[in-house]
């Protein structure tokens, strides 16, 4: 039975066109492919997607043809026209609810990344502070040339040899 879409029911053709086009593009489908998957004709798709009111609006049976190729539960295109949301096949949630769930999942993931980054920064900061405190207590680490001079001086001192160069450097 073919029914015209009732004019007395709230209709948002512009929104329907945007939702259908977005879903088709999301699924990577051309209008030709939608038609091959038993969707409406390409002229009907173009009319709906562009909200073309210069021609009579498609009937409800044409709108129902969008559901299968766009992987929506039956009646989703008509529900969208009337202000509702399409329901993807295999889901009990509407597109809007799925989008909210995806948003929550993404925000949760980003918050977890941020928490890990803060923990890492705090550990790094604590390690840096501990290293600075050790340097303040122990003094800076001597350079390798300084260590060699001290070792040479101690060796000479142990042998009883005077080291005038070392004494001169002690004051510097």
pLDDT digits (tens, 9 = 90+) for 44-99: 999 999 999 898 999 999 999 999 999 999 999 999 999 998 988 876 666 566 66
Mean pLDDT of the 12-18 span: 94
Q: Is residue 158 part of a domain?
A: yes
- Claim to verify: residue 66 and residue 80 sit in the same structural domain: yes
Q: Is residue 5 part of a domain?
A: no
- Domain holding 152, by residue range, is 142-172
Give 54 or 171, the one with higher predicted confidence.
54
In our burial notation (b when 16+ CB lie closer than 10 A, e otherwise), range 18-37 reads ebbbebbeeeebebeebbee
Q: In total, how many domains does the chain have?
A: 3
- Claim to verify: residue 42 and residue 112 sit in the same structural domain: no
Q: Is residue 86 part of a domain?
A: yes
- Claim to verify: residue 65 and residue 98 sit in the same structural domain: no
- Claim to verify: residue 100 and residue 86 sit in the same structural domain: no
Q: Is residue 154 part of a domain?
A: yes
Q: Is residue 26 part of a domain?
A: yes
Q: Is residue 8 part of a domain?
A: no
- pLDDT score recorded for residue 2: 47
- Claim to verify: residue 53 and residue 84 sit in the same structural domain: yes
Q: Is it the case that residue 134 has pLDDT exceeding 70? A: no
- Claim to verify: residue 78 and residue 17 sit in the same structural domain: yes
**CATH code, domain carrying 40:** 1.10.260.40
- Claim to verify: residue 86 and residue 100 sit in the same structural domain: no
- Claim to verify: residue 84 and residue 108 sit in the same structural domain: no
Q: Is residue 164 part of a domain?
A: yes
- pLDDT score recorded for residue 5: 53
- Claim to verify: residue 75 and residue 100 sit in the same structural domain: no
- Claim to verify: residue 17 and residue 84 sit in the same structural domain: yes
- Claim to verify: residue 33 and residue 79 sit in the same structural domain: yes
- Claim to verify: residue 54 and residue 28 sit in the same structural domain: yes
Taking the C-alpha atoms of residue 82 and residue 65, their distance in angstroms, rounded to an integer, is 16
């Amino acid at each position: 039975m073919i029914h015209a879409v009732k004019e007395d029911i709230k209709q948002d053709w512009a929104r329907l066109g945007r939702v259908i086009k977005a879903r088709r593009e999301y699924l990577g489908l051309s209008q030709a492919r939608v038609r091959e998957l038993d969707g409406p004709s390409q002229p009907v798709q173009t009319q709906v997607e562009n909200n073309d009111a210069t021609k009579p609006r498609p009937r409800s049976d044409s709108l129902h043809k969008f559901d299968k190729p766009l992987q929506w539960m039956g009646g989703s295109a008509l529900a969208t026209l009337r202000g509702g949301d399409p329901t993807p096949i295999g889901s009990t949630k509407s597109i809007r609810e799925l989008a909210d769930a995806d948003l929550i999942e993404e925000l949760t993931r980003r918050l977890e990344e941020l928490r890990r980054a803060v923990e890492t920064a705090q550990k790094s900061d604590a390690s840096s502070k501990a290293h600075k405190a050790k340097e303040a207590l122990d003094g800076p680490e001597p350079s390798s040339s300084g260590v060699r001079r001290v070792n040479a001086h101690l060796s000479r001192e142990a042998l009883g040899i005077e080291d005038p160069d070392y004494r001169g450097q002690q004051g510097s």
